[in-house]
Structure 1
Amino acid sequence: MKNLIIIGARGYGREVCGLAKQCPGYNTEYMIKGFLDDKLDALDGFDNYPEIISSVENYAIQENDVFVCALGSVQWKKHYVEIILSKGGRFINLIHPTVIFTSNVTIGNGLIIFMYSNISNDCIIDDFVTIQGFVAIGHDSKIGKWSHVNAYSFMGGYAILEEEVCLNTRSTILPHITIRKGATVGAASLVIKNVKENSTVFGVPAKRIEF
């Protein structure tokens, strides 16, 4: 039996804890050992959750430990995952049993995929990708490492997300569109042309915005 440790004990960490209990491996392949978070009082006022064991930086990995990273920020997810990897930690996938994979889907390691998402045929999902609930990914699409796809988003056939992309809630990416590395798509946006690296787009149709 593996001991699952969730990186992040804030709101999203609590959601991922719930997902872990709904996945087929719960109490057969793994039990939930607890959270890693530097905010040791993050669960104060919340009942029925495992304890916060330590911060990521101070945690000493044990023999049967496995990990998932429950951080909604692409940059912080990458940061903390790389700390655990540098210590020899191993990550698993948490995929809700209602997720539909059509034929020839290739998936990586360290994935988190929530309920009722539909991943069509011949898609490629790279390592440490997070897919929230009710996402639809069209055939032959690719999602690069570290990317985060929020709830109710849609990607048309042959769409590409490069590494470290964030699609916010209800984003729509038309077929054959590429979102370059590090880009962010705002909530409820409609992307009709390629998005440049490290840029943020928003609106219908989506246009680049500056902060």
Structure 2
Amino acid sequence: MKNLIIIGARGYGREVYNLAIQCDGYQKDYVIKGFLDDKLDALVGFDNYPEIISSVENYEIQENDVFICALGSVKWKKHYVELIQGKGGQFINLIHPTVIINSNVKIGNGLIVFMYSNISNDCEIGDYVTIQGFVAIGHDSKIGKWAHINAYSFMGGYAILEDEVCLNTRATVLPNVIIRKGATVGAASLVIKNVKENTTVFGVPAKRLEF
């Protein structure tokens, strides 16, 4: 039996805890040991959660520990996953039992996939991707490492998200569109053409925002 440790004990960490206890592996493959967070009082006022054991930086990995990263920021997810990897830590996937994964889908490691999402046939999902609830991913789509796809988003067939892309809530990416590395798509946006690396787009149709 593995001991699952959740990186991050804030609001999203509490969501991932509830996902973990709903997944098929709970109490079969793993139990939940607790959280890692540098804000040691993050759970004050919240009942029925396991303890915050330590910060990520100070935690010493024990035998049978496995990890999942519950951070909504692509930047900080990558940072803390790499910290744990540097200590020899291993990550697992948490995929809600209502998720539909169709034929020939290739999935990576460290995935978080929430309820009622659909991953259509022949897709490729990279390591440490987060897919929130009610997301639809069309056939032959590719999602790169570290990507974060928020609730109710849609990707058409053959769409590509490169590494470290973030789709915010209800974003729509039309078929065959490529969103390059590190780009962000704003909430409720409609992406009809390719998006350049490390840019932010928003609107219907989505256009580049300048900061």
TM, length-normalised to structure 1: 1.00
Q: Aligned residue for 2:19?
A: 19
Residue 68, structure 1, aligned to residue 94, structure 2 = no
- Tell me the C-alpha RMSD between the 2 structures: 0.3
Mark the runs of 5 or more structure 2 residues left unpaired by the alignment.
none
**Offset of 1:173 from its aligned partner?**
0.0
C-alpha distance in 1 between matches for 2:184 and 2:210? 12
**Offset of 1:131 from its aligned partner?**
0.1
Q: How does 1:153-164 map to 2 (within 5 A)?
A: 153-164=153-164
C-alpha distance in 2 between matches for 1:118 and 1:22? 17
- Aligned AA for 1:146? W
Q: Aligned residue for 2:210?
A: 210
Q: How does 1:12-161 map to 2 (within 5 A)?
A: 12-161=12-161
C-alpha distance in 2 between matches for 1:210 and 1:170? 22
**Offset of 1:25 from its aligned partner?**
0.5
- Aligned AA for 1:110? G
Q: Aligned residue for 1:197?
A: 197
C-alpha distance in 1 between matches for 2:14 and 2:181? 28
- Aligned AA for 2:184? T
C-alpha distance in 2 between matches for 1:195 and 1:100? 28
Tell me, what secondary structure is at the counterpart of 2:139?
A: coil
Tell me, what secondary structure is at the counterpart of 2:16?
A: helix
**Offset of 1:210 from its aligned partner?**
1.6
C-alpha distance in 2 between matches for 1:52 and 1:44? 10
**Offset of 1:19 from its aligned partner?**
0.1
C-alpha distance in 1 between matches for 2:121 and 2:25? 25
Deviant stretches of 4+, over 6 Å: none
Mark the runs of 5 or more structure 1 residues left unpaired by the alignment.
none
- Aligned AA for 2:21? K
Residue 166, structure 1, aligned to residue 172, structure 2 = no
TM, length-normalised to structure 2: 1.00
Tell me, what secondary structure is at the counterpart of 1:18?
A: helix
**Deviations 1:103-122 (Å, cap 9, x if unpaired)?**
10000000000000000000
**Deviations 1:11-70 (Å, cap 9, x if unpaired)?**
000000000000001011100000000000000000000000000000000011000000
**Offset of 1:129 from its aligned partner?**
0.1
**Deviations 1:62-87 (Å, cap 9, x if unpaired)?**
01100000000000000000000000
